Amino acid sequence: MIVTQTRVRIPLGPPLDFFECFARCRAFRRRSARPHKSAEGPATFTVTQPIITRVRKTGLRLLGDVPWGRHVAFFYEREEHLVEMCVPFLKAGLESNEVCVWVIPEPLTERDAWAALGDAVPALDRFRADRRIETLRSQTWYVTGDTPDLQKVARGWDAKLTDALHRGYEGLRVAASAPQLEEKHWADFFDYEERLNRYLSDKAMLVLCAYPVPAPRAADVTRTHPSTIRKRGGEWEVH
């Protein structure tokens, strides 16, 4: 099969958030993938979507190595469970030349989060100085006022990934705890989680989401994440 490449001229205009960019790119890919006649006979297809095959070390034995674009959720009962999953995941990202972000929930403090990372990452001060890792408060990152601001979040992830790549790092790794929301806002939040799957499909980015037990709308957590992890009988299991 002959694979050809198509160059696309994109007109300049106002910036788009990543969901708008994804929708436009997806529409273009559908048009580009239409078969056309070749002088050599059979119909050929134009491939425009990059294929990312390099695997990343997760730092988590039960996940092992995964490709870019993986979106996983885990349920935790106690603060130590949160640290147990997030710290090795982020440590592996730092060791793999990635930029890392830890979005932490209440009641975990930033001081405690940095202390946990420092115990596992001897060179943490250098990584912080190089802007290789940062912590964000879950409620501040996801919510503006009393309402989730998911377009702001989407633009934020896109900006952080772009910055990481521009500075020569291999990608972006995120461990993010879900915010506390009113029942009426969860549908929008899980719509965002579902859209994030599509966005990540061709991005140099890994996302590990954390939900407390009992999790609000646990079935939606499972539905919007290709893999989920929970602890049973003292052992972590992947579903």
Cα–Cα distance list, 76 to 80, 88, 132, 179 (Å): 9, 15, 26, 14
pLDDT of residue 20: 55
**Domains of the chain by start residue, with CATH:** 3-46 (no CATH), 55-238 (3.40.50.300)
pLDDT tens-digit series, residues 21-70: 444 444 444 344 343 333 333 322 222 334 344 899 999 999 999 999 99
pLDDT of residue 124: 98
Angle of helix 186-200 relative to helix 18-32, nearest 10 degrees, comes to 50
HSE at residue 120, side-chain half, CA atoms within 13 A, is 19
User: Distance between CA atoms of 228 and 206, rounded to whole angstroms?
Assistant: 14
Strands 205-212 vs 55-57: parallel, antiparallel or unpaired: unpaired
User: Does residue 234 register a pLDDT over 90?
Assistant: no
181 versus 18: the higher-pLDDT residue is 181
Q: How confident is the model at residue 17 (pLDDT cuts 50, 70, 90)?
A: low
User: Does residue 4 register a pLDDT over 50?
Assistant: no
pLDDT of residue 23: 45
Phi and psi at 106, nearest 5°, equal -70, 145
pLDDT tens-digit series, residues 162-221: 999 999 999 999 999 999 999 999 999 999 999 999 999 999 999 999 999 987 789 999
232: left (phi over 0), alpha (psi -120 to 50) or beta: beta
Phi and psi at 164, nearest 5°, equal -60, -45
Most distant CA atoms of the chain, gap in Å = 66
User: Distance between CA atoms of 62 and 131, rounded to whole angstroms?
Assistant: 29
- Here the tokens at position 95 are 């060791």
231 versus 6: the higher-pLDDT residue is 231
pLDDT of residue 163: 98
Question: What pairs with residue 177 in β-bridges?
Answer: 210
pLDDT tens-digit series, residues 119-139: 999 999 999 999 999 999 999
pLDDT of residue 131: 98
**Residue 142 CA from chain centroid, whole number:** 14
